[in-house]
Amino acid sequence: MKDKLIILTGPTAVGKTDLSIRLAKSIDGEIISADSMQIYKDMDIGSAKVEQRFQEEVPHHLIDIISPMDSFTVSEYKSLATEKIKDIISRKKIPIISGGTGLYIDSIICNLDFTEGNKDIDYRNYLENLTKEKGKQYVHGMLKDIDTESYDKIHPNNSKRVIRALEVYHITGKPFSSFKRDNLYDVPYDIYYYALTMNRKDLYDRINKRVDIMMKHGLLEEVTKLKSLGCSENLQSMQGIGYKELLKYLSLDTNLDDAIEDIKQNSRNYAKRQLTWFRKDPRVKYMDKDIYSDEEILNFITKEIKG
């Protein structure tokens, strides 16, 4: 019998954090964050990080694990999250993955190859140099004969992805696209996958209000401090919504009102992309907050899990 693994996701600002904490208390679970911004230390406000008092009530994992100066890969997330899942299960608790970073979630519940071992640095360097010499279109064209699906799906300007697809074929002899099809859902867990939703107008209103609250709580001061510590716009951490826009303001490239409006717009666009991502997985059960209260959703999920 496979061990249970709970996924609770949904677009930004939909209310995942509160429900995940209540769910963990209800089923004796522990929470593993699936948020690509909450992994960073000193980035609390812009990432809407779980307050410390709630982390003390319910164990949370993979929050505040690296410096904003460092990069972090999906492969690293998969490795750390898998370790946490095993540890939680070994203590007779139920792991709950909660967050909105779809790629993090897929790395755990889909049979995808994210291993860092499968790389050839010399070949990658060769392709990078070839891109500089002959252009992105030329290197993208190399995919046509070996992986037509990737050729059609990956934009020529996405050089990093193009090079990765060529590298995977070079190492394995298999098309990059094939790793997404073979036994996609054959994972060692009994998956319970839930996505919170609500009508778009209310969701966008919540997003806009949350940005205003973040600003009142000191988001600008948080970004100012990070900038003073040497965090610049070229860092992976500073690509997060709320951080990149305010760094632009601090560099005198825009005014504050426009920066705040950009944060709201980019957050709304991100929510749309998140909803599109979650729809790809047939295992998802949608919990519509326009129809059901948090209490009803909690009772439904708890009943299913305890089954």
Give the CA count within 13 Å in the CB-facing half-sphere of 83.
7
Q: 37 with 66: CB under 8 angstroms?
A: no
Q: Which residues are annotated binding-site positions for substrate?
A: 12-17
Known binding positions for ATP: 10-17
Paired strand residues for 66: 40
Say how many Å lie between the first and final Cα of the chain, rounded. 14
56: its two tokens: 């003390």
Partners of 5 in beta bridges: 191
Give me the phi and psi of 98, to 5 degrees please.
-130, 125
3-state secondary structure of 70: coil
Closest CA to 198 of 68, 19, 53, 28: 19
Region for residue 236 given its phi and psi (left: phi exceeds 0; alpha: psi -120 to 50; beta: otherwise): alpha
Q: Are 223 and 247 in contact (CB under 8 A)?
A: yes
Nearest to 222 by CA among 253, 239, 247: 247
Sheet holding 189-197, edge to edge: 60-61, 29-33, 94-98, 3-9, 189-197, 285-288
For residue 134, give the nearest of 156, 110, 101 by alpha carbon. 156
- The values of phi and psi at residue 184, to 5°, are -55, -40
Q: Which residues are documented as binding site?
A: 10-17
The residues, any chain, with a CB within 8 Å of residue 17's CB and separated by 6 or more, are 48, 50, 54, 98
